[in-house]
Chains A and B, each alone.
Chain A
């Protein structure tokens, strides 16, 4: 029996360390993620050369502060998409969660209770999707679409006008700006608790995906659900868990977004699920499941955020073109993934 060692391959994620050389050598699966990083860097360089004032504290701070909610959503969707599923409900969940949150806070609820309630609303919708998918054998697309309509409809029943959170509400403390480095004039490196929350979410998600059995089962399901089942892995529990995680993170994203804007409305978050899915795909996660990285999704979210910054800076590009550019970038990445998948088949 011959053992063909055709190419040394590195362990991409969190594995024990082989030699430095093989670690630096990208493997096929991390290629789209690397490409996302390259594109991000290229956008930064182009922006700096063409418009200036990109590589500076205030721009970086704003990029993170403005996209904290998208990063959290993208992390949640990474779990779902790695299993081969999808969650379309997250945008609508943000609407209902933030509306309920603002209304409860204005009723004089304890802010901590309000925040917990907002997160739990997300968990409930996630659990409902998971139960529909796992126990009623509904396609993830359909189940989460139903949850999307439900959440959006409930939000519209609550209110169709913007609900304003009182400026002195403790919930708004999450968007307090902390000056980390005091730069010249207004060019300071600032951060907010929201950004810290997003960073913690990313860190925990990374550890869960790469260092727990739950995380590895998520990848195994994405690779082959029937194999995972036959291997005796807890497939049902895990698939339920990814939708709960995605819903819960949508609830958390609602907290982050509401605290930043101070306004909740029934039309908040329309299409954000698609932004988050785009971020995940651009970040190199295969839509068919089985491969992808949380950090890639973060880069994907930042690519989308930076694109908006560049379009604003340019001034000449009509804002309507934003979606076209997003679509184009997405298409490039999906084509890149096709290439990866076809190369994988050949090996």
Chain B
């Protein structure tokens, strides 16, 4: 495989955006008939490198050669005509058109009276057969087939334009295990036909299952190129995050901590509920305690978190904070009682993309002070300095628009926003979802450290292992009600929670 010449060769690529070096001296080679995975955390420069290759971004220095000849593409369409096709994470097809049209758009077969639909659909069928999708009728509307199949249709489209290079940018993020297997079958088939495939994925298992070669990037810098079988997973992770794996492995030590669940709880709710939203729940959180909310998607985890903070107004229940009866029926009420809530919906309810990191960070503090008393530039600067450093936000530039940060770093800023209000109870809804492994570890460490300093934490996550490793007590939710509470201990595992959810289902 390595005997042939590389089809794509990128050497010493550097790209600089205002104030950031997005890529510095990155090398990348792609050979025909191989699957080459680009690895790196969020913000490491994977997408930037792909966009540099396809000409979406202009490179500041370095060379890109395709088939030995130096090239500079002007954009996706230009790269495509040179045989480099890209399939993106979100399927970029037109669902108002038929499957066949989506495969053939721009390559329709024309006869004397314009497009010959019969031949065009036949050609689409041939392309689909080439990927083992012969049983999809090209005349069906695209919207009538599943997302996974649409992804494969997008790949068929790439094959119609006789692509020799196929870029798959996180193609598996919305597919289930069977669908991933189907996709991998197609990828292997194309590889065996000599197509060079650039694959990007966050899932290590998938990377090891499919790729022949890896290039690792970190912070926009080139770490190295490796043959997949020769690099162990822990080595790969260390190379991606630039730190020793043992930091990550040390997680899970949290449950050995002293149990705080004695004495008066900091926050205590009896029969907290809202009609049609969540059945009344009892929940206590002690100072310095991490209480996990576990349950399946849609079990009422998020709803409970929102009621605690006052994002939604509870209509039953009695809340005591520091043993005094109180009411938390609005976010402002929550904030003034030192409760903070970090949403699971980072993009829509969390960050404000067009504001800077600084503006996003000070938002909650400012909201609590009221708009009549604006924070001075200096106070804002102090807050930014403290939290950007403490939470290791990269780049640590308070004046960057937050939408230009990677997901993990946006999440850190959000966490900073709430910590800046100095809450005594913080509700974290899926703080680690969709972010890379390094940032995840950092956020988990931060949560453990906060609890260590005496803050009460309600931690919501769909990853049960994470809930088990961080929480001291776990409230288990199902069908919008609380079905149990587990005091964490050495023999509690994700299985324990799954069993509880499963058996409770039989009773109900």
Residues of A within 8 A of B141 (CB): 9, 27
CA distance A243 to B441 in the complex (A): 53
- Shortest distance from the beta carbon of A293 to any chain B beta carbon, whole Å: 13
Of B144, B146, B149, B182, the most chain A CB neighbours within 10 A belong to B144
Residues of B within 8 A of A232 (CB): 76-77, 80-81, 106, 161
With A15-B139, A16-B117, A219-B94 already in contact, the answer to whether A231 and B157 are too (CB < 8 A) is yes
Query: Do A224 and B94 touch (CB < 8 A)?
Result: yes
Residues of B within 8 A of A211 (CB): 113-115
Residues of A within 8 A of B376 (CB): none
Residue on B with the closest CB to A290? B96
Residues of B within 8 A of A230 (CB): 76, 86, 88, 92
Query: Do B117 and A15 touch (CB < 8 A)?
Result: yes
A132-155 CB contact bits vs B (8 Å, 1 = yes)?
Answer: 000000000000000000000000
State the majority secondary structure of interface residues on B: mixed
CA distance A10 to B105 in the complex (A): 19
- Shortest distance from the beta carbon of B122 to any chain A beta carbon, whole Å: 8
CA distance A211 to B119 in the complex (A): 13
Interface assignment of B145: CB less than 8 Å from any CB of chain A: yes
Residues of A within 8 A of B80 (CB): 232
Residues of A within 8 A of B182 (CB): 1
CA distance A153 to B131 in the complex (A): 59
8 Å CB contacts to A: which residues of B149-203?
A: 149, 157, 161, 178-179, 181-182
Residues of B within 8 A of A212 (CB): 114-115
Query: Do A231 and B92 touch (CB < 8 A)?
Result: yes
Residue on A with the closest CB to B115? A211
Query: Do A220 and B92 touch (CB < 8 A)?
Result: no
Residues of B within 8 A of A7 (CB): 144
B324-352 CB contact bits vs A (8 Å, 1 = yes)?
Answer: 00000000000000000000000000000
- Shortest distance from the beta carbon of A208 to any chain B beta carbon, whole Å: 8
From the candidates B101, B114, B136, name the one contacting A3 in the complex (CB within 8 A).
B136
Residue on A with the closest CB to B93? A227
From the candidates B95, B110, B114, B161, name the one contacting A224 in the complex (CB within 8 A).
B95
Residues of B within 8 A of A18 (CB): 139
Interface assignment of A233: CB less than 8 Å from any CB of chain B: yes
Query: Do A216 and B108 touch (CB < 8 A)?
Result: yes
Interface assignment of A226: CB less than 8 Å from any CB of chain B: yes
CA distance A233 to B110 in the complex (A): 16
Residue on A with the closest CB to B87? A230
Query: Do A231 and B106 touch (CB < 8 A)?
Result: yes
Residue on A with the closest CB to B88? A230
Interface assignment of B140: CB less than 8 Å from any CB of chain A: yes
CA distance A126 to B249 in the complex (A): 65
Query: Do B178 and A9 touch (CB < 8 A)?
Result: no
- Interface size counted on chain B using CB atoms at 8 A: 41
Interface assignment of A222: CB less than 8 Å from any CB of chain B: yes
From the candidates A1, A4, A27, A217, name the one contacting B105 in the complex (CB within 8 A).
A217
Query: Do B101 and A344 touch (CB < 8 A)?
Result: no
CA distance A344 to B96 in the complex (A): 10
Query: Do B96 and A29 touch (CB < 8 A)?
Result: yes
Interface assignment of A229: CB less than 8 Å from any CB of chain B: yes
Residues of B within 8 A of A263 (CB): none
Residues of B within 8 A of A229 (CB): 76
Interface assignment of A316: CB less than 8 Å from any CB of chain B: no
CA distance A10 to B141 in the complex (A): 9
CA distance A296 to B106 in the complex (A): 26
CA distance A6 to B105 in the complex (A): 25
Query: Do A223 and B95 touch (CB < 8 A)?
Result: yes
Residues of B within 8 A of A347 (CB): 143-144
Interface assignment of B98: CB less than 8 Å from any CB of chain A: yes
- Shortest distance from the beta carbon of B134 to any chain A beta carbon, whole Å: 10
Query: Do A1 and B108 touch (CB < 8 A)?
Result: no
Interface assignment of A213: CB less than 8 Å from any CB of chain B: yes
- Shortest distance from the beta carbon of B468 to any chain A beta carbon, whole Å: 33
8 Å CB contacts to A: which residues of B99-123?
A: 101, 105-106, 108, 110, 113-115, 117-118, 121
Query: Do A227 and B94 touch (CB < 8 A)?
Result: yes
Interface assignment of A276: CB less than 8 Å from any CB of chain B: no
- Shortest distance from the beta carbon of B174 to any chain A beta carbon, whole Å: 14
Residues of A within 8 A of B115 (CB): 14, 210-213, 216
Residues of A within 8 A of B144 (CB): 6-7, 9, 347
Query: Do B149 and A224 touch (CB < 8 A)?
Result: no
CA distance A18 to B114 in the complex (A): 20
CA distance A11 to B101 in the complex (A): 11
- Shortest distance from the beta carbon of A239 to any chain B beta carbon, whole Å: 15
- Which residues of A are at the interface with B, using a C-beta cutoff of 8 A? 1, 3-4, 6-7, 9-11, 14-16, 18, 27, 29, 207, 210-213, 216-217, 219-220, 222-224, 226-234, 290-291, 344, 347
New A-B pairs, 19, CB < 8 Å, besides A219-B96, A226-B92: A1-B178, A3-B136, A4-B146, A7-B144, A10-B139, A15-B139, A27-B141, A211-B115, A213-B106, A223-B94, A224-B94, A224-B95, A227-B92, A231-B94, A231-B157, A232-B106, A290-B96, A344-B143, A347-B143
Could you pull out 21 A-B pairs where Cβ atoms are within 8 angstroms?
Answer: A1-B148, A3-B145, A9-B139, A15-B117, A18-B139, A29-B96, A207-B113, A210-B115, A211-B114, A223-B94, A227-B93, A229-B76, A230-B86, A230-B88, A231-B93, A231-B94, A231-B106, A232-B77, A232-B80, A233-B105, A233-B106
| Shortest 8 CB-CB contacts between residues of A and residues of B | A211-B114, A223-B94, A232-B77, A1-B182, A223-B96, A290-B96, A16-B118, A227-B92
